[in-house]
Structure 1
Amino acid sequence: MPASVAALDVPLLPVVGAGMPVPLVGGGSVRGVDLDLAATAPALSAVAAHVAAVLPHLGSVHRGAGWRSELATGAVESARRTIGAFVGARPDDAVVLTRSTTEALNLLAGAVPGSTVVLDVEHHANLLPWARSAGGAVVVRSAETFAGTLAALELALTAERPALLAVTGASNVTGEVLPLPELVALARRAGARVAVDGAQLVPHRRIDLGATGVDYLAFSGHKAYAPYGAGALVGRADWLDAAAPHLAGGGAVQRVRLVGAQAIADWRDGAARHEAGTPDTVGAVAIARAFDELAALDPDVWSAHEAGLRDRLVDGLAAVPGVRVLRLFADLDDAVGVVSFTLDGLDARLAALALAAEHGIGVRDGGFCAHPALERLTGGRPALRASLGVGTTLADVDALLAAVSVLAADGPRGRYERGADGWRVVGDDRPRPEWAVPAVSRACGAGS
């Protein structure tokens, strides 16, 4: 169902900070355009309001008898049920609250009872942890087509007979959505389970663990309009119950005994086994409220809105001389609102700085914590990434297209210099809020 142009200029859901003016170098300001949602999305307005309502009632979770403790405990456990329901968790699946997708995948890596097969195009968070699993990891090099990649995966799965196949749901570089039913069927023939990095999939569309057969799903609240520091791992409990606790501490134990000079713990099962310490109540309730808001959207309208904006962005970029839009697989057409591209003759960091300083537009630049993928796509050259969401409008996309066209034709207008730590704006006079401090970028290698 294609969306009309008029429909594309209205956000699906209101987000905090939408339309706020941002300062420009040299003075003045413009309506800010945030197209870096694949890194961190703003809070939905409903999420921020819900968090504000919950904050006065925060108390200790699970171990207190006071009224606030009762409310906080109920809030966390209710959020856990909502999170599980949103992703189609099976009745016996565990919903483990974590800080992020990265922590969730590292937690699972410690529970895999054998080896893991993974593709080379993954985000580092779904590429590096598996080497720590019991049987290590086998990284499969992808082909130019997904059909060729499936064939390479089948060979590796047949030879390795791993315990787990770990894949992304949607690429954080190109937005391409991998066909999960095909991957699950492939894994099952080799006797393997499937874990999905859902960081870029969950904020864009629903996934049903029970229907797809996916065994584990990891995702972050900060990419799903709930940037309050929580994430989750949802999936089959048996591996998690058999694994050593992710963290050792209070809440994860039934009892601790002293035997000679040693402290011996009787560990809990289920989510509690891996949730030592005080849980992030605010983070949990924020994710749950975000999922309530997303679940209320008409899925056809949601899909059409994002597809319309993505098509406008991809077609517009392709029309700019010197711009190359990146794709991982020539035979995959399904994609979420994540688009990466290069601009001939212009360093990605410099282009991103110019977009922000001269046009008020925020995008991502660098290697996107997926260096092997960038190596295959660009020879390791950093790229630019624009990402869309439920608060994005046609005006946002068109603002980026206009600004990229100016950069491609005329280059940056401001003054920039390149030092040992990368590009910076010379004489940056943009006013900052009182609470702000000078930013220090911690790049993910060639870019974050």
Structure 2
Amino acid sequence: MSAEAIGIGMIGMGTVGGGVAELLVKEAATYGKRVGKAVELRKILVLDVAEVPEKDQAILPNGVLTDDGEAFWNAEGIDVLIEVCGGTGVAYTFVKKALEAGKHVVTANKALLAKHGIELFGLARANGVSIGFEASCGGGIPCITAMQFGLMANQISGMYGILNGTCNYILTEMTQKGKTYSDALAEAQELGYAEADPTLDVTGGDTAHKLAIMASLAFGVQVTDDQVAHHGIDGLDLKDVQFAAELGYDIKLLGIAEQKEMGGGVSVSVQPCFVHVDEIIASVSGPMNAVSIVGHAVGHTMYYGAGAGRFPTASAVVSDVMNIASGWYGDAFAKMNIWTDKHEPVKLVSKEDQRSRFYLRFDALDVPGVIAKVTTYLGEKDISISAVMQHESDEGEFTPIVVTTHDARQGDLDAAIKQIEALSEIDGNVVQIRIADIPK
């Protein structure tokens, strides 16, 4: 990189790209003072210049915006490539090309890193450059920097994150206003918090991408997106939201990664969880994100803020650019062994061997002996009950019964549920939801 200036090229000019461009242009003088050299946005590649909003085009100096790929890649003086076009197709090709050409990369693309991160980090190292990716997880929250550098003295035992603002908004509307899932989703789409096709968000896939990246950093292992089991909120019943409130819990879609012993197995999963209302993370509402990280020395830490949006995400992108421009980040990237290309493959704890407390709900015929049969099946699998709740009903009718358990092995619970569902007095399937106990 030049001692006088650092040149920036960017691919994509959507919501986040527009925010990045605005910050780089309007705050150029401030950023130059902070890193000791000019930070210059020199070229932006888009699919079609005509589709870029006029308000975003007006921000840019003449000649910066182009839809000519050859002109972009032949532009002189580009030291850092910002990738904000998304996806794992074209984005992968462009990022790989930039790294091979000796350019640093800054990306907000969690899907790309969750799938190809091991390869791309190794490629960056081989070519003497680095990858900044703070914006890939948690939007504007500096949780990646915290794990990379701020918590380096710790052995991390657990992470518990609300990492998708769409889902958190929907769940907030369901828990605080009693809306159904479909009504809350429709409102989220109207307000721009949810995509027209919200599948990746509401099924937990987006959170799984982020958790793979964060778990890799936290535990020093290689975790890919296909190793993160995920279950979303799209099947959540308002009944369970109401029962949660009666029991003193809120419901959050959590990405959870845990390593109980140093060097031991790692469990990674995404699912709706009951979180006690006294937990700080239970109070995170609307489209906001939060991550709790537990270290053996520091204890419980928490990071909160906007998980998406034009300027929160752009803030993280530009911060990575400045860290690279200052020189220290590239040096750290080259010398330290905290990125996934230097890690061993993860040893996963099987789903059956994961342990937690659980909430169960089933519709049972209101006749004598049903609860006794259920408790017997649970007891035979060494599952202890912490509470049972049943509303008054007419004898002989089906009524919902709620059971909460003490700590139990998932495989044992699944076996007991199979027996419970086979009872003639039980109608339909048993609903199970994890109760998340976040270490203090």
**TM above 0.5, one fold?**
no
The structure that is helix-richer by fraction is 2
Q: Which has the higher strand share?
A: 2
TM-score by structure 2 length?
0.30
Greater relative CO, 1 or 2 (CA 8 Å, sep 6+): 1
TM-score normalised according to structure 1 size: 0.29
